Amino acid sequence: MRTGSEPRTARSALRARFWLSVWGLVWALFGTVAFALAGRNGWAIACGVLLLIVTVDLAVVLRRIRQGPHYQPGPGIPPYQPPDRRP
């Protein structure tokens, strides 16, 4: 159900973000190790930076999942009410 205020009150699919972050974490770790062993230091650093970004994203997702149903929408949670528009 659309309320017309989705850009401001949109909710994220946290479980999907969690699994995508896990997938990215695995591949970034693999890339970092593989490029480091192959002697490609530039690519290893790039994968290491990506590993850091994915780890931070995973931490944010896990924090929001643990905050409860306000941040983890389910079938019993109604959409946010649109903000009052006063002139």
pTM for this one? Answer: 0.66
- Cβ contact 74:67 at 8 Å: no
Residue numbers of the domain that contains 46: 25-66
Residue 82 lies in a domain: no
Residue 45 lies in a domain: yes
What is the rounded distance in angstroms from the CA atom of residue 67 to the CA atom of residue 83?
23
> What is the identity of the amino acid at 19?
W
Residue 86 lies in a domain: no
Residue 60 lies in a domain: yes
Give helix 14-38 / helix 41-66 axis angle, nearest 10°.
160
Residue 81 lies in a domain: no
Residue 52 lies in a domain: yes
Please spell the DSSP secondary structure of 9-48, one letter per residue.
Answer: H----HHHHHHHHHHHHHHHHHHHHHHHHHT-HHHHHHHH
Please compute the mean of the pLDDT values over residues 13-42 and round it to a whole number. Answer: 94
Cβ neighbours for 76, distance < 8 A, ≥ 6 positions apart: 69
Question: What is the C-alpha R_g of the chain?
Answer: 19
The number of folded domains in the chain is: 1
Task: Read off the pLDDT of residues 28-62 as tens digits, 9 standing for 90 and up.
Answer: 999 999 999 999 999 999 999 999 999 999 999 99
